[in-house]
Amino acid sequence: MNLFGVGGFELIVVLVIGFLALGPGRSIDAARTVGKTWRDLRDTFNEIITAVNLDRIDRETESNTPHDPTGSVGRNKPEDSDSV
């Protein structure tokens, strides 16, 4: 395991030192805060990814849709109408 250049054993040592420095009560609170922050960051990241993907899909849909430069969508053109 290598997380941000820190191996598994090094991570365990840091966690043990943190537990000893904070004590059992504050260690649990700190772990809870870190977990909540991590979850919030992950949720925010997922929301950003979803928004980017939806924007990309919207742009692809717009590029595949034929555009009428005259703006006559849903209107009859005079040459198409029989009752002119």
Sign of the dihedral through C-alpha 22, 23, 28, 29: negative
Considering only residues 19 and 81, tell me which one the structure prediction assigns the higher pLDDT: 19
Per-residue pLDDT tens over the stretch 34-53: 999 999 999 999 999 998 88
Per-residue pLDDT tens over the stretch 49-77: 998 888 888 787 777 766 555 655 555 55
What integer pLDDT is reported at residue 78 of this predicted model?
57
Q: Which pair of structure tokens corresponds to residue 26?
A: 């504050």
Q: Write b or e for each residue in 50-72: b if 16 or more Cβ atoms lie within 10 A of its Cβ, otherwise e.
A: eeeeeeeeeeeeeeeeeeeeeee
Could you state, in order of their start, the residue ranges of all structural domains in the chain?
24-64
Beta-strand runs (E) in 1-77: 2-3, 6-7
What integer pLDDT is reported at residue 25 of this predicted model?
87
Per-residue pLDDT tens over the stretch 2-13: 767 878 899 889
Q: Which pair of structure tokens corresponds to residue 57?
A: 């899909």
